[in-house]
Amino acid sequence: MGSVVHVTRSNYIIVKISKSNELPRIGVDVVDANNEVIGKLIDIIGPVAQPFAVIKPAKPAITSLLKSSTFLFYRLPRRSNRKGKRYELH
């Protein structure tokens, strides 16, 4: 996805998206290089040519571990084969 640019006062993580033609969907999980969940993508802001992602961290302590050069990735949600709820008949 891109590298960390800033951590806001309200503990949101701002990431500069490296490929503006491949924008992730809102709500996807954001992970680091070790595939550990950092948080969820909640918004995409900025100009179309250079968008930024706003990430809500999974835990507040995560923001202190991030450096400005940390590269983050997004993980696509798993697709379910189920189409709605299934009820068992007794």
**Mean pLDDT in each 10-residue stretch from start to end of the chain (90 residues)?**
93 92 91 93 94 94 85 81 62
**């491949």: which residue's tokens?**
22
What's the pLDDT at 44?
Answer: 96
pTM: 0.81
Distances (CA, A) of 55 to 51, 60, 81, 85: 13, 12, 28, 31
Q: Position 81: which residue type?
A: N
Q: Distance (Å, rounded) from C-alpha 25 to C-alpha 29? A: 10
What class does CATH assign to 2-75?
mainly beta
Domain boundaries, the chain: 2-75
Q: Distance (Å, rounded) from C-alpha 80 to C-alpha 61? A: 32
What's the pLDDT at 3?
Answer: 93
